[in-house]
C-alpha cells in the first residue's frame, strides 16, 4: 500500500467521487480517473498475474502500452470484456473490475508455481516438451496448459450489444491528439479541407495532459478546433490499422466509459476512413530497463508516475527512486517533486549528465548516483528495496523504496507507419527506428517522427550486471513473460533472424505488439550476436494496434444483419404453410412442407408421389437467369456452351452445358430462344453470379467483336414449376394467349402470353421427368400467381413440394446437380453427358481440353447408379467406395456416393456415384465400408425411372 | 469444454415495413413503382434513335430518369407502365427489369451520413444528378443523388429487406 | 483497402467494388484445336508469380462492370497504371 492521492493537482474532479469494485472489494475514485489511477490512489500495487509464470504484476505504463494490468470488466449480465488495460479504462460509478490469470486469488495464486519452476519453462518450452506421447496431448497437457495459460476468459453468452460502422472521407486525418497532432490539425483546418483528428484517450491532449504548463494552450487549440465546422474530433477512438492508400480503420468506444444505466445506443463504432493525407502523431512510448526484478509491482516507467501525479493527482509511492539512462527521467523526477511526490534518489548509468539536471536534482534534495545501475529490485507483491552498483560491478548497496521508476529512453510509435509499409531507419541518437520513406501521402510529426525533445540518453538491451545473461531474471516482454535470457537462449539454439527469435520466444507478439519490448529485445539480440542492431532486422508490426472486440469489427453484421438472407416472392406463402427451410447460397428455400406430424422422409415421400401421380408445384425463383440479347446472341451462346444454339428456333428451349476452359462441367441450365436475338438463359441457383461473370469475361475480353449484351434477370422473374400428369389441366384455366395443347406446345418449348392477367414466359420443361411447366412472371406478381395456381390445382390435390423432393425426383431420372454430382473435375464424358456436346462444333469453351491426355485416359471416375442389395438402406452421400472390402487398410478407394435417397417411385433406395471406370462395371457389386459394417451395392445406369421418357410427353 | 450454443446466423426473417422510417434528421421510404429498363449499346446514337430520347454520355451522369452506369450501359427509371421498343435486329439490348429491383428514398440532412455508413464512396461530394453502381457493405446498389438532401437507392428485390434494416440500424 | 483507378469510369474507386481476374494478356487462341497439348497446358495453367511489376486483370464488377488491365507492384501493392481491355500491355 504505497500510492496515495495528492492534495492538489491533476485533472480529476475532486468534488465527484465514484464508487467502484476491484476483485469484489469496494474502492472510491474521482471523476476523471482511470481504473489504474483510482487503484493507485487507493494504494493498490498488485494489478494482475503474468501470462506464463503468474508473477505478481503492477502498473508499468499509464496508457495503452500497459502490458500487465489487464482487467476483466463486467457491465451486467452477458457484458463481460476481458483484457482491458487498466489505464485505458475510464472510471465510472459502479465499475466492476476483476484481475486475471490468478487462481484462486490475486494475492495467493497457486499456479504461481510456474514462476518457482521458471527455470524449466524457457523459450520454446511448449514446443519442445509436449510433443510426446501424442495421446497425452488431449488428455493431459492441453487441459493443464489451458488452465494455466491464456489472457482472461472469453464471455460465454451472446453479446447483447450492437455496434455501428461507417466510412468517412477527409482531406487530412491526424492520428493522435497530443501537442504535435493538435498543431497539425490546426494547420490543416486552416486550409479549409475536411479534417478528422482521432485520439485513443478519454480526452485529447496526449502527453500535454501530464504537463499543466501546457493546459492553457491545449484548451485554446481545442476550442478553436471544436469551433471549426470542417474538423471532426473523435476521442476514445483508436486507429487500429493503416492500410493501402491512406485507408485507416479506427474503433470509437461510445458507451463503455458510462455507467451501464447511462449507456444508450451502439457500444462501439468502426470507422473506415479514407484520407487524402495522413498525419501520424502517435508520440513515443518510454522504454523499460532490463534488470532482475524489473517486473515487481511498484517498478514502472517514469512517464507513468508523471502521468499519475500531474494528470490524476496520484503519487505512486512515498519513497520513490528513479533509474535513468535518459534525461527525461531527471525531468520527470523534478516534475514529481514539484507536484509533491517524494523522490529520494536518482541513479543514472551515465557518468556525464547535464549539469543543470544534476544541480536541480541535488537542489531539490534528491540523492544522485552517477555511473551506477540498479542490479535488482526486491519484494514479492510489491517493491520494498533495490540494490545498485557502479556499472557492471558487484559492489552492491541497498536502498529501501516503494516505487522504482525506469527511464530507459523513448521508442517512437511507428506501428501505423509500418502497417502502411513505410520504411524505417535506425537512429543512433534515439536508439530506435524512425520513419523513413513511404509510398503513402503520410507524414509523422512529434515524437513518433523523432521530432520531440525528450532530451538525450543511452539505448541498451539490459542494465549492466556482474551476472552472466543466463542467470539474469529481468523481463523484456512483460505481457508474454519473455526474459532477456530467453532471447540469449534462442540465439544459442541457432536462431539468427529477429523474426525467428520473436516467434521462438514470443517477444513482441500478440496483443501487445511489442510496444514496450521490441527495442529492448532487438538490442539484446544484437548484443548476444555481436552484430549491429541494423543487421538483426526488425519484426513487422501488425494491426490491430490495440486489441479490439469482435463486435467492433463486425459493425452492422450481427444477428439478423449478419448477412443478407435472400427470399423469393413466394417465401412468405411457404412460411405461412409450414415450410421447413434450407439455405442455398444466400437464398432461403423451402425444403419440404410437412403436414401434421410428418417428418422429412414422410413429407418428401408424399410430395414425390403427388408429382408422379397428379401434380405438384415448386418455387424455382432462385434459379439464375440471364437475358442474352443482340444480333450475335446465338453465336455467343454457341461459342460458350457445349451444345449447338444457332439452329434453335425461336420458341424452343435447350438444355445447356457450360464447361470451364479446363473441360470440366461448371454449370447447366435450360435456355429458351424468345426471339432471334433474345435468349432467356437459366443457371443453377448458386452459379448465377459466377456464370454471368464468366460470360462477361469472354464477351468483353475474348469476343468483344460480338454485338450481344447480358442482363441479370434472376430477380426479375418469379418461377413456379408445375409438374405432374395434371400440370396442364391445372394451368389451362389461368393462361391466356398460349395454346397449351401437346401439339402446339411441345416439350422444350417456350411461349409468351399471360397468366392470371400478367405477362408470362411459360416454359414447358421438366426436372422431374413428368409433364411440366415453369411459369415465369414478374417477381412482384409471383405470390399472386402462385396462389392462383394453388387454388386451380385443388381439384387435383396439387401439392407444394420443396427442394428435397425436387432432388429425389431428379435423381430418379438421373439428372445431375452441379456441385453435388460434379465436383469441378468432372467432364461431360465422365458424367455420361457426351450427348450434350455438339459434335460438329469446331470450338466451344472447354472443347480443346476434352482432348487432353488426362481427360481421355482410362480410369476416370464416371457417374453411375448404385442399388444397395438391401433396398431399405440409403447410402450416405460422400461415402467412399471400394472394389474389395477385405483388402488391408488403407483401402484403395475407387469412387464415392454423390446422391442417395429413398425413391418413392421405386419403393427402394437409389444412389448416384462417381466410380472409376464406372460404366464398365455395370452389374458389378461394389462395397461401401461404413462404421456399422460394409454395405454391398450393384452398379447400374444412372436413370432409375421411366428411362424411355414416355411420361414427359403426357 | 466450453459448450457454445449454435447461433441461428441466417435465420433472420427480415421484412420490408409498410411505413416509412422517420428518424432524427433522416427519412427512409420505399420509392414509387418504376418501369425499369437495362439499355445496352456500343453506339448510344442507335439507342437514342430507337427510343427517341437523349442519353447521358458519361458514366455517372443522369438525364431524365436515365443513368449511365457503364460505357455501354444505361439504367432507365421511367414512370410505371412505360413500354419501350425492344429494337429487335438492331445492335442494342433493351430489357425490362421493372421487377428486379426496389427503390428506396433517403431524405434529410443526415441522408449522406446514412448512406456513408455502409457505402465506401465519398457520397457527400456527389453532385446532384450523379448516379452510380456501388455497394452498401456486401450488397450491390445504385446510388443516385436526386437533390441536395435526397438520394434514390436501387437494390435487387431479395436484398431489399437487409438493406432497409441496415440503413435503419444506422439511422 | 486499395483505391483502383477505373479506366472506364475515369476515377479512383474503392477495392470492394472490384474483383481480381488473374494474370492479364493471356489471349485465348482463335483456333484452340491447333494447339499442341503442351501449348494448351501453358495457356491453361502456367502463370507468372513475379516479385514486382505484374500485369493483371480486374473487373469493376460493382461499378461500370468492365474488365480492364492493370500494372501492379506485388511488393508495394501500388498500381502503376490501369488501362482498358484490348489496349496493348504497358
Q: Is C47 inside any structural domain?
A: yes
Selected for mutation to probe chain A from B100, B119, B135, B160 (highest A CB count within 10 Å) is: B100
Q: Is C17 inside any structural domain?
A: yes
Q: How many DSSP H helices and E strands does chain A contain?
A: 23, 50
- Residue B106 distance to chain C (closest CA, Å): 21
C interface with B, Cβ–Cβ below 8 Å: 1, 8-11, 13-14, 16-17, 62-66
Residue A11 near residue A208 (C-beta atoms within 8 A):
no
Strand pairing of A367-370 and A343-348? Answer: parallel
- Residue C85 distance to chain A (closest CA, Å): 6
* Concatenated DSSP letters of B143-169: EEEEETTEEEEEEEGGGHHHHHHHHHH
Residue A83 class from Cβ within 10 Å (0-12 exposed, 13-18 middle, 19+ buried)? Answer: middle
With CB atoms and an 8 Å threshold, state whether A661 touches C86. Answer: no
- Residue C90 distance to chain A (closest CA, Å): 17
Residue pLDDT, tens place only, A736-758: 999 999 999 999 999 999 999 99
Could you state, in order of their start, the residue ranges of all structural domains in chain B? 21-33+99-170, 34-96
Q: What CA–CA distance (Å, rounded) separates A73 from C76? A: 41
**Is the bond preceding B14 in cis, omega lying within 30 degrees of 0?**
no
Q: What CA–CA distance (Å, rounded) separates A877 from A863? A: 14
ipTM metric: 0.98
| End-to-end CA separation in angstroms for chain A | 94
- Residues with Cβ < 8 Å from A928, sequence gap 6 or more? A875, A879, A880, A881, A882, A897, A934, A935, A936, A937
Selected for mutation to probe chain B from C62, C65, C84 (highest B CB count within 10 Å) is: C62
Per-residue buried b or exposed e for C2-37, using 16+ beta carbons within 10 Å of the residue's own CB: bbbebbbbeeebbbbbbeebeebeeeeeeebeeeee
Nearest 5 degrees, angle CA A79-CA A81-CA A84?
150
With CB atoms and an 8 Å threshold, state whether A847 touches C41. Answer: no
The single-letter DSSP state of residue A534 is: G
- Residue A844 distance to chain C (closest CA, Å): 9
With CB atoms and an 8 Å threshold, state whether A565 touches B120. Answer: no
* Concatenated DSSP letters of A735-803: EES---STTTS-TTEEEEEEETTEEEEEEE--SSSSSEEEEEEEGGGHHHHHHHHHHHTGGGT-EE--H
Clarify whether residues A718 and A621 are in a common domain.
yes
Clarify whether residues A755 and A897 are in a common domain.
no
Q: Is A699's pLDDT higher than 80?
A: yes
Residue A420 near residue A242 (C-beta atoms within 8 A):
yes
Selected for mutation to probe chain B from A715, A717, A784 (highest B CB count within 10 Å) is: A715
Residue pLDDT, tens place only, A894-923: 999 999 999 999 999 999 999 999 999 999
Q: What CA–CA distance (Å, rounded) separates A384 from A401? A: 5
The pLDDT-based confidence of A94 (bands split at 50, 70, 90) is very high
Residue pLDDT, tens place only, B62-118: 999 999 999 999 999 999 999 999 999 999 999 999 999 999 999 999 999 999 999
- Residues with Cβ < 8 Å from B21, sequence gap 6 or more? B27, B28, B29, B164, B167, B168, B171
Q: What CA–CA distance (Å, rounded) separates A137 from A143? A: 9
Distances (CA, A) of A296 to A111, A348, A374, A396, A851: 17, 20, 13, 19, 74
Clarify whether residues A787 and A928 are in a common domain.
no
CATH number at residue C11: 3.30.2270.10
- Residue A915 distance to chain C (closest CA, Å): 26
With CB atoms and an 8 Å threshold, state whether C8 touches B59. Answer: yes
Kindly list the residues from chain C whose CB atom is less than 8 angstroms away from the CB atom of residue B73: 64-65
Tell whether A559 lies on the interface with C, counting CB pairs under 8 A: no
Q: Which residue of B has its CA nearest to C15?
A: B120
- Residue C15 distance to chain B (closest CA, Å): 9
Instruction: Identify which of A379, A402, A375, A395 has the alpha carbon closest to the alpha carbon of residue A387.
Output: A375
CATH number at residue A887: 2.40.30.110
- Residue B9 distance to chain C (closest CA, Å): 23
Residue A214 near residue A208 (C-beta atoms within 8 A):
yes
Q: What CA–CA distance (Å, rounded) separates A258 from A863? A: 64
- Residue C57 distance to chain A (closest CA, Å): 10
* Concatenated DSSP letters of A641-674: BSS--TTPPTTBEEEEEEE-TTS-EEEEEEEEEE
Q: Is A85 inside any structural domain?
A: yes
Q: Is A578's pLDDT higher than 60?
A: yes
* Concatenated DSSP letters of A164-221: EEEEEEEEEEEE--SHHHHHHHHHHHHTTS-EEEE-SSSSTTGGGGG-GGGHHHHHHH
Q: Is A109's pLDDT higher than 80?
A: no
* Concatenated DSSP letters of A690-747: HHHHHHHHIIIII-TTS--EEEE-TTTEEEEEEESTTHHHHHHTTEES---STTTS-T
Q: Is C12 inside any structural domain?
A: yes
Which chains have 3 or more CB–CB distances shorter than 8 Å to chain A?
B, C
The single-letter DSSP state of residue A897 is: E
**What does residue A593 show for φ and ψ, rounded to 5 degrees?**
-120, 85
Task: Report the residue from C1, C65, C85 with minimal CB separation from A247.
Answer: C1
Residue A713 near residue A627 (C-beta atoms within 8 A):
yes
Task: Report the residue from C21, C33, C35 with minimal CB separation from A697.
Answer: C21
Q: What CA–CA distance (Å, rounded) separates A238 from A249? A: 8
Domain coverage including residue A939: 852-952
The pLDDT-based confidence of A156 (bands split at 50, 70, 90) is confident
List, edge to edge, every strand of the sheet that includes B139-147.
B21-23, B26-30, B101-107, B150-156, B139-147, B131-136
Instruction: Identify which of A631, A763, A621, A638 has the alpha carbon closest to the alpha carbon of residue A695.
Output: A638
Domain B21-33+99-170, CATH class in plain words = alpha beta
User: What is the number of structural domains in chain C?
Assistant: 1
pLDDT of A137 reads 63
Q: What CA–CA distance (Å, rounded) separates A711 from B39? A: 9
Domain coverage including residue C7: 3-27+42-84
Q: Which residue of C has its CA nearest to A851?
A: C37
Q: Is C65 inside any structural domain?
A: yes
Residue pLDDT, tens place only, A431-471: 999 999 999 999 999 999 998 888 899 999 999 999 988 88
Clarify whether residues A16 and A67 are in a common domain.
yes
Q: What CA–CA distance (Å, rounded) separates A913 from A927? A: 12
Clarify whether residues A875 and A778 are in a common domain.
no
**Is the bond preceding A779 in cis, omega lying within 30 degrees of 0?**
no
Greater model confidence, A510 or C77: C77
With CB atoms and an 8 Å threshold, state whether A843 touches C32. Answer: yes
Residue A549 near residue A539 (C-beta atoms within 8 A):
no
**What does residue B37 show for φ and ψ, rounded to 5 degrees?**
-135, 140
Kindly list the residues from chain C whose CB atom is less than 8 angstroms away from the CB atom of residue A661: 28, 44
Tell whether C37 lies on the interface with A, counting CB pairs under 8 A: yes
The pLDDT-based confidence of B1 (bands split at 50, 70, 90) is very low
CATH number at residue A679: 3.30.1360.120
List, edge to edge, every strand of the sheet that includes A709-712.
A653-659, A665-675, A678-683, A624-629, A709-712
**Residue A249, Cβ neighbours under 10 Å: how many?**
22
% of chain A exceeding 70 in pLDDT: 95
The pLDDT-based confidence of B10 (bands split at 50, 70, 90) is very low
Which chains have 3 or more CB–CB distances shorter than 8 Å to chain C?
A, B
Q: Is C10 inside any structural domain?
A: yes
Selected for mutation to probe chain C from A848, A850, A853 (highest C CB count within 10 Å) is: A848
Kindly list the residues from chain A whose CB atom is less than 8 angstroms away from the CB atom of residue C32: 843, 847-848
With CB atoms and an 8 Å threshold, state whether C41 touches A852. Answer: yes
Q: Is A126's pLDDT higher than 60?
A: no
Rg (CA), chain B: 18
With CB atoms and an 8 Å threshold, state whether C76 touches A697. Answer: no
Residue A698 class from Cβ within 10 Å (0-12 exposed, 13-18 middle, 19+ buried)? Answer: middle
pLDDT of A652 reads 98
* Concatenated DSSP letters of B114-151: HHHTT--S-GGGPPTT-EEEEEETTEEEEEEEEETTEE
Selected for mutation to probe chain B from C13, C17, C85 (highest B CB count within 10 Å) is: C17
pLDDT of B4 reads 47
Q: B–C: how many Cβ contacts below 8 A?
A: 38
pLDDT of A760 reads 98
Q: Is C21 inside any structural domain?
A: yes
With CB atoms and an 8 Å threshold, state whether A627 touches B95. Answer: yes
Q: A–C: how many Cβ contacts below 8 A?
A: 61
The single-letter DSSP state of residue A139 is: I
Q: What CA–CA distance (Å, rounded) separates A228 from A303? A: 33
Q: What CA–CA distance (Å, rounded) separates C59 from A623? A: 24
Per-residue buried b or exposed e for A937-952, using 16+ beta carbons within 10 Å of the residue's own CB: bebbebbbbeeeeebb
Task: Report the residue from A245, A661, A847 with minimal CB separation from C2.
Answer: A245
Residue pLDDT, tens place only, A339-388: 999 999 999 999 999 999 999 999 999 999 999 999 999 998 999 999 99
Tell whether A660 lies on the interface with C, counting CB pairs under 8 A: no
**What does residue B6 show for φ and ψ, rounded to 5 degrees?**
-60, 140
Lowest mean pLDDT among A71-85, A224-238, A302-316: A71-85
With CB atoms and an 8 Å threshold, state whether C9 touches B69. Answer: no
| End-to-end CA separation in angstroms for chain B | 40
The pLDDT-based confidence of A78 (bands split at 50, 70, 90) is confident
- Residues with Cβ < 8 Å from A199, sequence gap 6 or more? A176, A177, A181, A206, A233, A234, A235, A237
User: What is the number of structural domains in chain A?
Assistant: 3
> 3-class SS at A284?
strand
With CB atoms and an 8 Å threshold, state whether B133 touches C63. Answer: yes
Q: Is A585 inside any structural domain?
A: no
Clarify whether residues A70 and A14 are in a common domain.
yes
Q: Which one of A795, A810, A825 terminates a domain?
A: A810
- Residue A764 distance to chain B (closest CA, Å): 22
Tell whether A245 lies on the interface with C, counting CB pairs under 8 A: yes
Q: What CA–CA distance (Å, rounded) separates A36 from B144? A: 50
Which chains have 3 or more CB–CB distances shorter than 8 Å to chain B?
A, C
Q: Is A122 inside any structural domain?
A: yes
Residue pLDDT, tens place only, A700-726: 999 999 999 999 999 999 999 999 999
Residue pLDDT, tens place only, A665-687: 999 999 999 999 999 999 999 99
Residue A880 class from Cβ within 10 Å (0-12 exposed, 13-18 middle, 19+ buried)? Answer: middle
> 3-class SS at A585?
coil
With CB atoms and an 8 Å threshold, state whether B70 touches C8. Answer: yes
Residue A634 class from Cβ within 10 Å (0-12 exposed, 13-18 middle, 19+ buried)? Answer: buried
Clarify whether residues A606 and A743 are in a common domain.
yes
Q: Is C15 inside any structural domain?
A: yes
Return the CATH architecture of domain B34-96.
2-Layer Sandwich (3.30)
Residues, chain A, total? Answer: 954
With CB atoms and an 8 Å threshold, state whether C33 touches A847. Answer: yes
Tell whether A318 lies on the interface with C, counting CB pairs under 8 A: no
Selected for mutation to probe chain A from C12, C28, C73 (highest A CB count within 10 Å) is: C28
Task: Report the residue from C15, C32, C76 with minimal CB separation from A847.
Answer: C32
The single-letter DSSP state of residue B42 is: S
Amino acid at each position: 500500500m504505497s500510492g496515495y492521492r495528492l492534495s492538489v493537482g491533476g485533472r480529476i474532479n475532486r468534488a465527484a467521487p465514484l464508487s467502484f469494485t476491484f476483485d469484489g472489494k469496494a474502492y472510491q475514485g474521482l471523476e476523471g480517473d482511470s481504473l489504474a489511477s483510482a487503484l493507485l490512489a487507493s494504494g493498490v500495487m498488485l494489478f494482475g498475474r503474468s501470462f506464463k509464470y503468474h508473477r505478481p504484476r503492477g502498473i508499468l505504463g499509464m496508457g495503452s502500452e500497459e502490458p500487465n494490468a489487464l482487467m476483466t470488466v463486467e457491465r451486467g449480465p452477458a457484458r463481460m470484456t476481458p483484457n482491458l488495460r487498466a489505464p485505458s479504462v475510464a472510471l465510472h460509478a459502479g465499475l466492476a473490475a476483476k484481475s486475471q490469470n490468478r487462481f484462486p486469488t490475486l494475492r495467493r495464486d497457486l499456479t504461481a508455481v510456474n514462476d518457482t519452476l521458471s527455470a524449466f519453462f524457457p523459450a520454446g518450452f511448449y514446443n519442445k516438451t509436449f510433443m510426446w506421447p501424442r495421446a497425452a496431448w488431449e488428455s493431459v497437457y492441453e487441459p493443464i496448459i489451458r488452465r494455466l495459460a491464456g489472457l482472461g476468459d472469453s464471455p460465454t453468452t451472446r453479446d447483447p450489444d450492437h455496434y455501428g460502422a461507417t466510412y468517412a472521407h477527409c482531406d487530412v486525418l491526424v492520428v493522435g491528439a497530443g501537442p504535435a497532432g493538435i498543431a497539425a490539425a490546426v494547420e490543416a483546418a486552416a486550409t479549409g479541407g475536411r479534417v478528422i483528428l482521432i485520439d485513443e484517450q478519454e480526452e485529447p491532449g496526449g502527453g500535454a495532459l501530464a504537463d499543466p504548463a501546457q493546459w492553457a494552450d491545449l484548451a485554446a487549440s481545442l476550442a478553436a478546433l471544436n469551433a471549426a465546422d470542417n474538423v471532426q474530433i473523435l476521442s476514445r477512438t483508436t486507429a487500429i490499422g493503416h492500410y493501402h492508400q491512406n485507408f485507416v480503420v479506427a474503433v470509437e468506444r461510445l458507451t463503455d466509459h458510462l455507467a451501464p444505466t447511462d449507456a444508450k445506443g451502439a457500444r462501439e463504432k468502426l470507422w473506415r476512413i479514407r484520407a487524402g493525407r495522413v498525419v501520424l502523431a502517435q508520440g513515443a512510448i518510454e522504454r523499460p530497463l532490463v534488470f532482475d526484478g524489473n517486473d515487481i509491482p511498484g517498478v514502472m516507467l517514469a512517464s507513468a508516475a508523471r502521468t499519475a501525479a500531474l494528470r490524476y493527482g496520484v503519487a505512486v509511492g512515498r519513497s520513490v527512486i528513479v533509474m535513468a539512462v535518459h534525461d527525461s527521467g531527471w525531468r520527470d523526477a523534478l516534475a514529481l517533486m514539484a507536484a509533491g511526490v517524494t523522490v529520494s534518489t536518482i541513479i543514472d548509468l551515465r557518468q556525464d549528465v547535464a549539469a543543470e539536471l544534476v544541480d536541480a536534482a541535488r537542489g531539490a534534495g534528491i540523492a544522485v548516483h552517477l555511473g551506477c545501475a540498479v542490479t535488482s529490485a526486491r519484494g514479492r507483491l510489491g517493491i520494498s528495496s533495490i540494490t545498485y552498483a557502479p556499472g557492471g560491478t558487484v559492489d552492491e548497496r541497498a536502498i529501501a523504496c516503494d516505487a522504482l521508476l525506469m527511464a530507459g529512453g523513448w521508442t517512437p510509435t511507428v506501428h501505423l507507419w509500418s502497417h502502411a509499409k513505410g520504411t524505417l531507419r535506425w537512429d543512433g541518437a534515439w536508439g530506435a527506428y524512425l520513419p523513413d520513406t513511404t509510398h503513402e501521402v503520410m507524414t509523422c510529426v512529434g515524437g513518433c517522427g523523432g521530432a520531440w525533445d525528450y532530451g538525450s540518453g543511452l539505448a541498451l538491451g539490459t542494465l549492466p550486471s556482474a551476472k552472466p545473461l543466463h542467470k539474469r531474471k529481468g523481463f523484456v516482454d512483460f505481457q508474454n513473460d519473455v526474459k532477456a535470457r530467453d532471447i540469449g537462449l534462442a540465439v544459442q539454439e541457432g536462431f539468427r533472424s529477429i523474426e525467428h527469435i520473436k516467434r521462438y520466444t514470443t517477444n513482441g507478439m500478440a496483443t501487445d505488439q511489442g510496444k514496450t519490448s521490441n527495442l529492448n529485445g532487438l538490442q539484446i539480440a544484437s548484443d548476444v550476436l555481436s552484430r549491429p542492431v541494423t543487421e538483426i532486422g526488425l519484426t513487422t508490426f501488425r494491426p490491430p494496434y490495440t486489441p479490439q472486440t469482435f463486435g467492433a469489427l463486425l459493425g452492422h453484421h450481427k444477428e439478423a444483419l449478419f448477412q443478407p438472407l435472400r427470399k423469393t416472392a413466394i417465401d412468405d406463402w411457404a412460411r405461412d404453410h409450414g415450410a421447413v427451410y434450407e439455405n442455398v447460397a444466400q437464398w432461403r428455400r423451402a425444403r419440404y412442407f410437412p403436414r401434421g406430424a410428418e417428418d422429412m422422409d414422410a413429407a418428401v415421400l408424399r410430395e414425390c408421389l403427388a408429382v408422379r401421380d397428379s401434380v405438384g408445384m415448386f418455387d424455382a425463383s432462385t434459379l439464375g437467369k440471364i437475358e442474352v440479347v443482340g444480333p450475335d446472341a446465338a453465336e455467343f451462346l454457341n461459342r460458350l456452351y457445349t451444345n449447338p444454339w444457332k439452329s434453335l428456333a425461336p420458341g424452343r428451349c435447350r438444355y445447356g452445358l457450360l464447361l470451364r476452359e479446363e473441360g470440366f462441367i461448371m454449370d447447366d441450365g435450360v435456355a429458351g430462344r424468345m426471339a432471334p436475338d433474345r435468349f432467356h438463359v437459366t443457371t443453377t441457383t448458386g452459379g448465377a453470379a459466377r456464370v454471368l461473370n464468366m460470360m462477361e469475361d469472354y464477351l468483353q475480353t475474348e469476343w468483344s467483336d460480338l454485338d450481344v449484351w447480358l442482363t441479370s434477370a434472376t430477380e426479375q422473374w418469379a418461377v413456379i414449376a408445375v409438374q405432374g400428369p395434371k400440370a396442364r389441366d391445372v394451368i389451362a384455366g389461368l393462361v391466356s394467349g398460349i395454346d397449351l395443347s401437346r401439339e402446339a406446345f411441345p416439350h422444350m418449348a417456350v411461349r409468351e402470353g399471360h397468366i392470371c392477367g400478367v405477362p408470362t414466359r411459360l416454359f414447358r420443361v421438366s426436372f422431374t421427368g413428368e409433364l411440366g411447366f415453369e411459369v415465369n412472371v414478374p417477381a412482384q406478381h409471383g405470390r399472386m400467381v402462385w396462389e392462383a395456381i394453388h387454388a386451380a390445382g385443388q381439384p387435383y390435390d396439387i401439392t407444394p413440394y420443396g427442394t428435397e423432393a425436387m432432388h429425389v425426383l431428379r435423381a430418379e431420372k438421373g439428372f445431375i446437380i452441379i456441385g453435388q454430382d460434379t465436383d469441378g473435375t468432372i467432364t461431360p464424358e465422365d458424367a455420361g453427358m457426351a450427348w450434350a456436346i455438339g459434335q460438329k462444333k469446331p470450338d466451344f469453351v472447354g472443347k480443346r481440353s476434352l482432348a487432353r491426355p488426362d481427360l481421355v485416359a482410362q480410369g476416370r471416375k464416371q457417374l453411375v447408379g448404385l442399388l444397395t442389395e438391401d433396398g431399405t438402406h440409403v447410402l450416405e452421400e460422400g461415402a467412399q467406395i471400394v472394389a474389395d472390402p477385405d483388402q488391408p487398410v488403407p483401402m484403395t478407394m475407387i469412387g464415392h456416393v454423390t446422391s442417395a435417397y429413398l425413391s418413392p417411385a421405386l419403393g427402394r433406395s437409389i444412389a448416384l456415384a462417381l466410380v472409376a471406370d464406372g460404366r464398365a462395371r455395370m452389374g458389378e457389386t461394389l462395397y461401401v465400408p461404413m462404421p456399422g459394417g460394409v454395405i454391398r451395392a450393384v452398379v447400374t445406369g444412372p436413370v432409375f425411372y421411366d428411362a424411355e421418357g414416355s411420361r414427359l410427353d403426357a | 469444454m466450453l459448450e457454445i450454443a449454435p447461433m441461428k446466423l441466417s435465420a433472420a426473417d427480415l421484412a420490408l415495413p409498410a411505413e416509412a422510417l422517420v428518424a432524427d434528421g433522416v427519412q427512409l421510404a420505399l420509392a414509387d413503382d418504376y418501369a425499369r429498363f437495362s439499355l445496352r449499346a456500343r453506339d448510344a446514337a442507335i439507342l437514342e434513335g430507337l427510343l427517341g430520347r437523349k442519353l447521358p454520355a458519361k458514366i455517372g451522369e443522369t438525364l431524365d430518369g436515365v443513368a449511365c452506369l457503364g460505357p455501354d450501359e444505361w439504367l432507365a427509371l421511367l414512370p410505371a407502365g412505360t413500354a419501350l421498343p425492344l429494337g429487335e435486329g438492331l445492335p442494342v439490348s433493351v430489357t425490362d427489369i421493372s421487377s428486379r429491383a426496389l427503390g428506396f428514398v433517403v431524405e434529410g440532412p443526415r441522408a449522406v451520413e446514412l448512406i456513408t455508413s455502409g457505402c465506401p464512396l465519398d457520397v457527400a461530394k456527389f453532385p446532384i444528378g450523379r448516379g452510380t453502381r456501388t455497394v452498401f457493405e456486401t450488397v450491390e446498389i445504385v446510388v443516385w443523388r436526386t437533390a441536395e438532401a435526397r438520394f434514390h437507392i436501387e437494390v435487387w428485390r431479395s436484398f431489399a429487406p437487409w438493406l432497409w434494416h441496415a440503413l435503419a440500424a444506422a439511422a | 483497402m486499395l483505391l483502383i483507378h477505373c479506366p472506364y469510369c475515369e476515377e479512383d474507386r474503392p477495392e470492394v467494388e472490384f474483383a481480381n481476374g488473374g494474370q492479364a494478356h493471356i489471349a485465348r487462341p482463335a483456333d484452340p484445336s491447333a494447339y499442341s497439348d503442351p501449348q494448351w497446358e501453358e495457356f491453361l495453367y502456367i502463370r507468372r508469380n513475379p516479385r514486382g511489376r505484374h500485369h493483371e486483370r480486374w473487373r469493376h464488377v460493382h461499378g461500370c462492370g468492365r474488365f480492364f488491365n492493370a500494372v501492379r507492384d506485388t511488393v508495394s501493392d501500388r498500381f502503376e497504371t490501369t488501362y482498358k481491355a484490348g489496349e496493348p500491355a504497358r
